[in-house]
Structure 1
Amino acid sequence: MIIFAIMEEDYIKLIFGLKLKQIRTDRNLSLFGLSKLSGLSKSYLNEIEKGKKYPKPDKIAILSEKLDVPYDQFVSLKLDKNLAPIGDILKSKILKEIPLELFGIKESDLIDIVANAPDKVNAFISTIIEIAQHYSFSKESFYLASVRSFQEANNNYFEVLEQSVIKFVEAYQLDLKANISSLELEEILVEEYGYTINNKELENYKELDSLRSIFIPKTKTLLVANHIDEAQRTFIYSKEIAYNYLNYKERLYTFSWIKFENFDQVLNNFYASYFAGSLILPQELLTNQVEKLFKKKTFDDKQFVQIAQSFNASPESFYQRLTNILPKDFNIQNLFFLRFIHKKNSPNFYLTKELHLSHQHSPHANETNEHYCRRWMSLKVLKDIVNTNDKHVFNLQISNYPDSNQSYLVLSSATKDPFKTDQYRSVSIGLLINQQLKRKLNFLEDKKIETFNVGVTCERCAIKDCKERMVPAKILEKEQKNLKIETVVNDIFKQFS
């Protein structure tokens, strides 16, 4: 994949254009006025200011004389203070790493935006930097947010990867109707790609107890944690096959990841994970089973769990795979995916992964240390598994948000984190309830499915007499107070106008 970059020549053109436009506007000159003053055509000057042309030395000399600006200052790449942030960001590696081509944004589009509204771009850049610093928004966070936006823009379904899996299965004569096993994939890694699998080495390093695997490219050695289960091992092998079969050179070498060096590594990590999910949970097989579940008049929780456990996959892989097939095969595009973690005896719940298709659904992550609503099914199953110490807890509910008048069918599973003591995780998928969903899910009228009024955070929740409330709705109360003040001020304006 080619990462977006502004070439050096384009950078020089753009900087000159920005300087010319700034000087012209400082002199209160229109393009027409500068054309009359310099003898250069208006269209030519316009092309310069947009960063599309760089004038020859004789033309620069004319502009230098007519605008009373030293020639050296004109050709210098140094920008004045008010445009300096634009120059800094253009010279930095940031733009080279932004995956704008994923969203159909061309290099020329960005240059036009910067050239036509430099002050606004400057203000925008400054704002982004300030937000990033305020929330400790790292480069890795930016990369992950970009991939998440890419997923959302494509309804989290990628036909090319689905077809790649089908071709791989045909080439290696695998049977998708039977569960893919780690032994089958290990044989391919060893025989086809020259891997050496080491299941013991990682156990010698206590510092690496949270890692499931490390790949050493020089010797093609895959170090795998000995205590992972069959589903986790199969997923790791599937990702390794994806990197090789899809010929990705830029990749991550640890699972879970430690750091990213460039955006290609992040994107290829997502592609490899998608490939693995498609291989382990075949689209046609999963769709057929989900369709049978949807046709029932009442929700069969045992059947849902049975479907999830019929594949050689973790609950998280299963739920994430649903976010691929529901938009594609059922045209259910208004959905969200959430992953929470929770430590036993801790009052805190942390949202560590989320995906929203079609639009930003509730709930979603907050960055202000507010208290997530304890009525969410995602949190309920976590509390249940801590109390019961079961291996897997599943439940569902209809979550109704009174403020937005929207309701979601939310299905959640909780499991123990195999790598951390007394830590648990939940994964959830929420489907927006509308007429379309009611036509597709026959069991939505099932009276056994409980409905709960929920909020986003306690601090912003208007629900009265909530037994699960952790703190008062202080942010909501402040907003309501400000609204009353604004209403009174408006009345005074009307009275004295």
Structure 2
Amino acid sequence: MISDNDIVKLILGFKIKHLRLQQGISYQELAKSTGMSVSYLNDIEKGKKYPKPDKISVLAQAFKLDYDELVSTRADKKLRPVIELLNSGFFKFFPLDEFGISPDKLIDVFSNSPDRISAFISTILKMVRSYQIEKEHFYRIALRSYQDMHDNYFPDLEEAVQSFKKEMKLKNKVPYGYDQLADMLRRQYDITIDRTGLSKNKKLGAFRSYYQAEKKVLYINQGLSDGQENFILAKEIGFQYLELGERSYETQLNKEASFEKLLSNFKASYFAAALLMDAAEMVKDVELIARSTTWKPSLIGNLLQKYQVTPETLLQRFTNILPHYFNIKDLFFIRLKSTNDLIKYDITKELHLSQLHKPYRSEMSDHLCHRWVSISSIKNIRSKKADHIIDAQMSDFWQTDSAYFCISIAEPDNYKGDGASSITLGLLMTDGLKGTFNFIKDPGLRKKTVHNTCERCSIPDCDNRVAPPTHVDKMQLEEELALELKQL
């Protein structure tokens, strides 16, 4: 992360480099007029060093500026967006190092074409304001991009889990139940479990768990499933074993969470899933599913039972295993939450690997297409009394060559008592996917033509439509008007 002091250095370095290039002054010429070495000037421009006041005065004279004008964070209109971005606090929290970007590379990019870069940044900032996008959204988008960069498989975390198992002398026997996980926390980290403290406070009902670091007590709320409790315990083991510094202590990350905290939460969650579901064992499970010539929901149900995990943990683990071991990288994962009227649905979590797949979350108020199995499975669970419903569907995207095989697991929200949710794993239909899973050729697989939202869909006579195709109608009207103008 970049400190406030680093930001000041970057801004000065950017301004000096811009002035030098704008005035056509070479390093050698600036070194001669200021008495500073070329290497020292280079370090200033890269934001690595901040010169003393007497040297700043000499630099200001070389550029025919006042001292205050050079050191000020203000700039002319063309440079202002870049200065605003550097000074906004975004880079103080954004993990440049995780993306292989150094501060001096930023300065090079900003300086080589400041007019165009400034215009681009200004456009982005205006879009952010228009759509009321907060920094937390950027952090989450950055995290998803980070996962995509690595195909959502992290060898260092997988190895950490194996090292932990070796230290604890754990066998790969599954599942690791509540008692065993709680015992690991107690023996290894002197952490005790309190299953009543949170539930006594009605205001804290939204938190599934909270870790009190000073007391070394992990509070777990009542009403959770075995899979949810197991994941919370395994995740706390991850926090402790990985020695993650800046971290969340409650289940719900607050709005002020930094990217570092979000990344730590991801690492601990990844560790938990890898601990509960060993990679080598999961590969065998996927191979067993792949050999089946027909689609059998029970094959997924058996894994939920085998590992004693939640549907979300299971399908997320698939997003680690499939890209790395089976070269299936074109996939998406979404968590969908229903409202009481079963008309509007919100994507509360998503991951897209290799490209931006559909459906996807939008800040617009459009209605997601009800033809997706993610929604039909929620409707089914609301009408039946069951712990979960596992469903699958071949989804052909309207007027495109894209098709997805989607597995969806819906479950009632017993914890909060309102609505239901579904977890969906979507796999883009490719030759590699068809060659891996035999059941893809199953003629009994349900097929549906789908779109992203009702407002942008032109499927005629759709019996699942919950909103008029306003966007399509608008585009059609614009085309008709353009035709009328041509005929004048």
318-327 vs 12-21, which moves further = 12-21
Q: Which residue of 2 aligns with 1:343?
A: 339
Matched, 1:286 2:255: no
| 1:5-20 matches, cutoff 5 A | 5=2, 8=5, 11-12=8-9, 14-15=11-12, 17-18=14-15
8 Å CA contact 1:14–1:49 kept in 2: the answer is no
8 Å Cα contact 2:10/2:103 also seen in 1: no
Find the counterpart in structure 2 of residue 314 from structure 1. Answer: 310
Q: Conserved in 2, the CA contact under 8 Å of 1:16 and 1:74?
A: no
Relative distance call for 1:464 and 1:35 in structure 2 (3 A) is same
Match of 2:147 among 141, 148, 151: 151
Alignment of 1:382-421 (within 5 A): 382-421=378-417
The AA in structure 2 aligned to 1:15 is: L
| Counterpart Cα distance in 2 of 1:231 and 1:84 | 51
1:345-392, Cα deviation, whole Å (9 max, x unpaired): 342111111111111111111221111111000000001111123221
Aligned to 1:300: 296
**Structure 2 residue matching 1:427: 3-state secondary structure:** strand
TM-score normalised to the size of structure 1?
0.88
Q: Is the 8 A contact 2:157 2:271 kept in 1?
A: yes
RMSD of equivalent CA atoms: 3.0
- 2:327 is aligned, of 328, 331, 342, to 331
* Identical amino acids, percent of aligned pairs: 34
Q: 1:77 to 1:305 in 2, by over 3 A?
A: closer
Distance 1:281 1:334, change over 3 A: same
**Aligned length, in residue pairs:** 484
Structure 2 length normalisation: TM-score?
A: 0.90
Q: CA deviation at 1:19?
A: 5.7
Q: Distance in 2 between matches of 1:409 and 1:425?
A: 19
CA distance in 2, matches of 1:351, 1:17: 40
- Deviation string, structure 1 residues 75-110 (Cα, Å, up to 9, x no partner): 444433543443343234321211121111122111
Describe the SS at the equivalent of 2:405. strand
Tell me if structure 1 keeps the 8 A contact 2:7–2:86: no
- Give, in whole Å, the separation in 2 of the partners of 1:103 and 1:247: 22
Q: Relative to structure 2, which stretch is displaced further, 456-465 or 6-15?
A: 6-15
Which of 16, 21, 27 is the matching residue for 2:18? Answer: 21
Q: How big is the shift at 1:157?
A: 0.6
Aligned-partner residue type, residue 425 of structure 2: I
Q: Deviations over 1:128-156 (max 9, x none)?
A: 33222333322222211111111111111
Question: For 1:76 and 1:135, how far apart are their aligned partners in 2?
Answer: 31
Is 1:135 matched with 2:131? yes
Answer yes or no: is the 8 Å Cα contact 2:11–2:73 preserved in 1.
no
Secondary structure in 1 matching 2:199: helix
Matched, 1:94 2:90: yes
SS of residue matched to 2:404: strand
1:233 aligns with 2:237: no
Question: CA offsets, 1:4-42, max 9 Å, x none?
Answer: x267367346426526735974xxx5447x969x9689x
1:379 aligned onto 2:364: no
The answer (yes or no) to whether the contact 2:47–2:103 under 8 Å persists in 1 is: no
| 8 Å Cα contact 1:400-1:451 kept in structure 2 | yes
1:240: how far off? 0.8
Matched, 1:114 2:110: yes
Distance in 2, Cα, partners of 1:346 & 1:431: 25
Equivalent residues of 1:15, 1:87 under 8 A apart: no
1:250 equivalent to 2:246? Answer yes
Distance 1:479 1:65, change over 3 A: same
Cα distance, 1:52–1:445 mapped onto 2, change above 3 Å = same
Q: Residues 72 and 294 of structure 1: is their aligned pair in 2 closer, same or farther, counting only changes over 3 Å?
A: closer
Amino acid at match of 2:233: Y
What CA distance in whole angstroms lies between the structure 2 residues aligned with 1:485 and 1:443? 49
Asked whether the 8 Å contact 2:304–2:311 carries over to 1, the reply is yes
The answer to whether the 8 Å contact 1:13/1:53 transfers is: no
Q: Tell me how far apart the structure 2 counterparts of residues 222 and 66 of structure 1 sit (CA, whole Å).
A: 61
| One-letter code aligned to 1:478 | K
* Aligned partner letter, 2:318: L
| Distance of 2:10 and 2:343 partners within structure 1 | 56
Instruction: Describe how 1:124-273 pairs up with structure 2 within 5 A.
Output: 124-273=120-269
Shift of 1:451: 1.1
Contact 2:14 2:107 in 1 (8 A): no
CA distance in 1, matches of 2:372, 2:10: 54
103-112 vs 333-342, which moves further:
103-112
d(CA) in 2 for partners of 1:251, 1:52 = 29
Q: 1:357 matched to which residue of 2?
A: 353
Write the mapping of 1:467-478 to structure 2, written as runs, cut at 5 A.
467-478=463-474
Q: Which runs of 5+ in 1 are unaligned?
A: none
Amino acid at match of 1:185: L
Equivalent-residue separation in structure 1 for 2:60 and 2:240 (angstroms): 57
Q: Tell me how far apart the structure 2 counterparts of residues 53 and 256 of structure 1 sit (CA, whole Å).
A: 40
Q: Distance in 2 between matches of 1:245 and 1:61?
A: 51
